[in-house]
Structure 1
Amino acid sequence: MISNKKIQLSLVAVLITFETLLNSTHAIELDEITRTVTLEESGKTIILTPEQVKRGKRLFNSSCAQCHNGGITKTNPNIGLEPESLSGATPPRDNIYSLIEYMKDPTSYDGATSIAELHPSIKSAEIFPKMRNLTDEDLFAIAGHILIQPKIAAEKWGGGKIYY
């Protein structure tokens, strides 16, 4: 018969092993090159802080991932959040400031029509409650998350049904 002490020691060993594995995956920090994103149309860049990266991921997952999981766009799978689609929009949405502007007042891909009543945004926060409490700092972090994902997830980001 196995004693309670042996069972307890075994459980502690399993928990310590599990915690070590978990912490080692979280301990991986993104380098500055990965955290460098385009700030504005002029091409000026910025290095996101690790805190901005973590915050952006958390906010994206809670506010955007329902429709944009993995960088896809569920309502239009032809246009995702990968660099090619972002740069092809009018105006281009491939930098922090243009993504923030989009999250505040979204327009169609060609820029001709407001879609604020259809797409969650600060302008339509009364319709989309998840947008109500997002600050400019939050939008900055979300935009940063969107822009670093192609460096982290490579072809999976915006890859659609193939990956998600």
Structure 2
Amino acid sequence: MKFNTILKKNSWLSLIAIIITYTIFSGSVYGIELDEATRTVTLEESGKTITLTPEQAKRGKRLFNNSCAQCHNGGITKTNPNIGLESESLSGATPARDNINGLIEYMKDPTSYDGATSIAELHPSIKSAEIFPKMRNLTDEDLFAIAGHILIQPKIGAEKWGGGKIYY
């Protein structure tokens, strides 16, 4: 009888410990705990910056995971591993895509890396939303948040973001 009482008490203590541990570690680090410096990204090619709110960062992560991560998980590009979403690749594109406005324009009407050819029929975009249903309901605010997420990632994951097969 005494053993059952001890077991019941310990079960409750174990359950409480599990709940507390889950509560502490299940909170999203991303979007909640990112400091201002991490959330500050380049807005336009001129170099002007903007600081995303924690909510924008969190929303960008969620939208990216729902709409983009199938092909760009970890910042890679599955169809062309030579061009990823890391800063170097984004800045080397024409026009540059290493800023919020450049990424938004790309998500609206994507072009080849050299900017010479539309690839809207191949890459999900607002322009080709009838082909890519996940793009249909994305607003400019959503695109802003996704672009912000992409630009924040090199600050968090460093070389891992866009690192390709080495990491993913």
TM value normalised by structure 1? 0.94
AA partner of residue 2 (structure 1): N
**Whose radius of gyration is greater, 1 or 2?**
2
AA partner of residue 129 (structure 2): A
CA separation of 1:147/1:91 partners in 2, compared to 1, >3 Å: closer, same or farther? same
Report the Cα distance in structure 2 between the residues aligned to 1:45 and 1:107, rounded to whole angstroms: 24
* More deviation, 118-127/10-19: 10-19
Return the offset for 1:99. 0.4
**In the alignment, which residue of structure 2 is the partner of 1:115?**
119
Report the Cα distance in structure 2 between the residues aligned to 1:105 and 1:134, rounded to whole angstroms: 13
SS in structure 1 opposite 2:4? coil
Report the Cα distance in structure 2 between the residues aligned to 1:80 and 1:93, rounded to whole angstroms: 11
SS in structure 2 opposite 1:2? helix
Match of 2:160 among 138, 144, 156: 156
**In the alignment, which residue of structure 1 is the partner of 2:49?**
45
Report the Cα distance in structure 2 between the residues aligned to 1:138 and 1:79, rounded to whole angstroms: 23
**In the alignment, which residue of structure 1 is the partner of 2:137?**
133
Query: Within the alignment, does 1:5 sit opposite 2:28 as a pair?
Result: no
How many pairs does the alignment contain?
Answer: 164
SS in structure 2 opposite 1:42? coil
AA partner of residue 84 (structure 2): G
In structure 1, stretches of 5+ residues that fail to align are none
Match of 2:103 among 95, 99, 103: 99
Return the offset for 1:28. 5.8
AA partner of residue 58 (structure 1): R
Q: Deviations over 1:62-99 (max 9, x none)?
A: 00000000000000000000011001101111110010
Match of 2:78 among 74, 81, 86: 74
